[in-house]
Amino acid sequence: MPINDVVSVGNPRQASTTPTESHAATQSTEPESQIDPAEPPFEVRLTAVRSRAKIIRKGGIEIEVQEAQVADIQVDEGIEVVKLEEQEEQSYSILDFSDYLEVELFSNTSVFLADLKQEAGGSNDVTLHLNKGHIFVHLNDQTTSQVTVQAPYATIKPLTRGTEFDVCHNETLTCVLVKKGIVEITARDKKQIFKAGEAGYVLEDELPSLPICAPTPVFSAWEESYRRFADAPALEKEISELPQEACPLTAAGIPVNAHILYEDNFINPLSGWPRGKIDNFIVRYAGLNYYRVQAQYSGNQFIPSVPNEREYGDVNVDIRAVAEAPSSGDFRYGLVLRRSGDQYYAFVIAPSTKKWYFLKSSSTGLEILREGTDERMRGVDAREALRVEAYDSTFFLFINGRFIDWISDSDYAIGEVGLYVEPIHSSDVLIRFDSIILWDVPTETLIPNTGGREYCFNTRDDDGDRLIDRADPDCQRRDLTSTPLPLPNSTLGATSTPRPTNTLIPGPTNTPQPTNTLMPEPTNTSRPTRTPTPRPTGTPRPTRTPTPRPPNTPTNTPIIPLPTILPTIILPTILPTLPTEPPTEPQPTDPPTEPPTEPQPTDPPTEPPTEPPATGLPVTLIQTGFIGVKENAQSLKTRSQSTWSAN
């Protein structure tokens, strides 16, 4: 990104009347604040897309970011997105963390960058505090960077790469919608995970709600509306109108939109699983209902792989099984995944003790990565359902449909899937596997209505030019970074000085008649009364008129924006102020400093300067928008008498 597209806000300085002065101060007063080139700074930038935003610094210093401007953000700085009154469009800003994280901010949103640190391997860990409002969070699925959103009632943390989720917070609740990946919500030490297509909420001092089915197409359309319109319903309202129930499942307990990669109910003895006596196990299909593994003595493990001999990376594995153990003794069973030789992961349970384990096997043996106890296990002689959902280096564990825990390990990325039986101290354990299913859920491929432009947040090519997000010049944000930000004095009143745009009149060509008749010629000869010298003796309003403006009086109506000025000259509003000047005010003594031939060539100098029409009021429009009146004695008398007689 070109360096002149962004202006770093830096540390606050004394107010200056020009951005240039403030910038010079930044360069000269704090050379010690320069960052070591060996340690490149984190790039965190705020773009005010529509309306404006505020940066809140230590000490309560506020800096405004105007629409289409960009500012650098530092740790311990807050951001508020301003909603203008009677604004139909949604106020909209983007908080951009280099190439790994983007956060969309909206009207009446207040967020604080609490922490930003670099982890081993180049990943980044971001912590945001959401005080109020709505944010849409997008993680890049090509990085391992993490973000944690802390709201007053809950902490939200994505658990997978490329996760996309929305968060809202108000005085009543914190709400979350997950569009992609998996998110963990923690409240009062209770953790609950939410997957893509699910939403949830946390009330004050309450535990997280159970997942609520939130169809992705519905909320993608809501997002598009919320980005555009200020009156779009809030996220909490959309969630409250959903049926407060989980997404539907099949009879096998998997999502109805799941894609089945492999499935076996063990009703076909020719499906390919090993049979016979293998080591200390007798294995066979039994009763056309299950796959039976019988241990003859303790020790060893039996680990058959899925017969299709395929390797899987990100995959979900479900098994159902019943354990029988005539004699006492520990044993465990379950499933394996990402197996290659003696390297694999295994999720197993010991129903007799109601313990579970997530194991990692290598050439040096088995290692317990995580273990725990779950009282919801049904025990021996009861059917247990186990599931592992693998996403990149993260594994989610479920027992009987309930989420147990998650583990992260990146050593094994791909491998075979299979079953696991280990008779640790049991010589006659028997495991009957009822079914095994391998499945995944296709990612929703919804292209927002971007009018043929790149959407910039969805890691997809929206306009078909084979360029994705910021790699595409058509990305909407690219258009917005071209305006540098004159931030250091954006909060100063000095911005009011540019109001000269109100000087609609380049010169006091205001002698025209209110009737719009081409009578200004007679009044042009009386212009000597408008020279700067009589200004101090004019009406009391000179205090509001910039003195540099009156010197423009020599302009002898060469400019003809008179019709545009006349509508603003409402004489009744001016006349009441005239009686405040003595009607006997002497004729201006200023001799005509300009020859009578100076008026514009189009004005025939045939009219005597001493007989201006009663309605010929020389008017000067001041920069502030007020109207000042200064007349010669003849016209003033006539006007005053007519006004008093009317009163």
pLDDT of residue 468: 73
Could you give the CA distance from residue 180 to residue 275 in angstroms, rounded to a whole number?
Answer: 41
pLDDT of residue 530: 45
pLDDT tens digit sequence for 139-156: 988 888 899 999 999 999
Could you give the CA distance from residue 247 to residue 154 in angstroms, rounded to a whole number?
Answer: 23
pLDDT tens digit sequence for 40-53: 456 899 999 998 89
Q: Does domain 3-245+448-488 have CATH number 1.25.40.20?
A: no
Percentage of the chain lying above the pLDDT 90 cut? 51
Nearest partner of 437 among 402, 398, 410, judged by Cα:
398
Could you give the CA distance from residue 92 to residue 97 in angstroms, rounded to a whole number?
Answer: 17
Q: Is the pLDDT of residue 164 over 80?
A: yes
Helices (H), 130-172: none
What average pLDDT does range 103-125 have in this prediction? 91
Residue 188, phi-psi category: left (phi > 0), alpha (psi -120 to 50), beta (remainder): left
pLDDT tens digit sequence for 617-628: 333 333 333 333
Could you give the CA distance from residue 207 to residue 205 in angstroms, rounded to a whole number?
Answer: 7
Nearest partner of 541 among 469, 626, 484, judged by Cα:
626
Percentage of the chain lying above the pLDDT 70 cut? 63
Place of tokens 């997530």: 358
Could you give the CA distance from residue 321 to residue 349 in angstroms, rounded to a whole number?
Answer: 11
pLDDT tier, 59 (very low <50, low <70, confident <90, very high otherwise): confident
pLDDT tens digit sequence for 520-578: 444 444 444 444 444 444 444 444 444 444 444 444 444 444 344 344 444 444 444 44
Q: Is the pLDDT of residue 260 over 60?
A: yes
What average pLDDT does range 498-507 have in this prediction? 42
Helix (H) / strand (E) containing 20: helix 19-29
Q: Is the pLDDT of residue 127 over 60?
A: yes
Q: Is the pLDDT of residue 123 over 90?
A: no
Residue pair 575/583 in contact by the 8 Å Cβ criterion? no
Neighbours of 116 (CB within 10 A): 19
What average pLDDT does range 282-294 have in this prediction? 92
User: Which regions of the chain carry the CATH code 2.60.120.1440?
Assistant: 3-245+448-488
Query: DSSP secondary structure string, 381-443?
Result: TSEEEEEEEEETTEEEEEETTEEEEEEE--S---BEEEEEEE-SS-SS-EEEEEEEEEEE-PP
Residue 514, phi-psi category: left (phi > 0), alpha (psi -120 to 50), beta (remainder): alpha
pLDDT of residue 537: 43
Q: Which residues of 68-101 are buried (b: 16+ CB within 10 A; e: fewer)?
A: bbbbbbbeebbbbbbbeeeeeebbbbbbbbeebb
Q: Is the pLDDT of residue 427 over 50?
A: yes
What homologous superfamily is domain 259-440 in, according to CATH? Exo-inulinase; domain 1 (2.60.120.560)
Which DSSP symbol is given to 499? G
Residue pair 295/283 in contact by the 8 Å Cβ criterion? no
pTM above 0.75, yes or no: no
Neighbours of 369 (CB within 10 A): 14
Q: Is the pLDDT of residue 612 over 60?
A: no
Helix (H) / strand (E) containing 644: helix 633-646
Pick the range with the lowest mean pLDDT from 84-98, 340-354, 372-386, 490-504. Answer: 490-504
pLDDT of residue 116: 94
Could you tell me how far CA 141 lies from the centroid of its own chain? 17
User: Which regions of the chain carry the CATH code 2.60.120.560?
Assistant: 259-440
Q: Rg of the Cα trace of the chain?
A: 39
pLDDT tier, 503 (very low <50, low <70, confident <90, very high otherwise): very low
